[in-house]
Homo-oligomer: A and B are copies of this chain.
């Protein structure tokens, strides 16, 4: 099944371009966090412990641009902003949660692999 040709679609919105925006560390983690429900900016920032404000802003903009999350300005004082998965975002939810879970389940194996590799190279 050499389906690579059909998956690597040419044109305005190839798989590569999409993956460029939605894969990556912060996108996966943000989406996974939002899978539990709508979340405000600083709550998200705390959940993604270690992310800078700029990186989070950029990540959320990218996800918003691709139609995966929606940004809602709350009429509170001071202003609040809530992010929420769209229908499209929800359709990716189980995939990303599974990925996140995979990292948790295999972190010991991966850690060992890294140590072997580093020793082999050193």
Contacts and interface: CB of A to CB of B under 8 A. Distances in A.
A4 B66 CA distance: 24
A107 interface: yes
Classify the secondary structure of A's interface with B.
helix
Contact of A111 (B4, B12, B106): B12
B104 A9 contact: yes
A50 B106 CA distance: 31
Interface residues of A, number: 56
Interface of A: 1-4, 6-9, 12-16, 18-20, 22-25, 27-29, 32-33, 36, 47, 49-50, 64-67, 88, 91-92, 95, 98-104, 106-114, 116-118
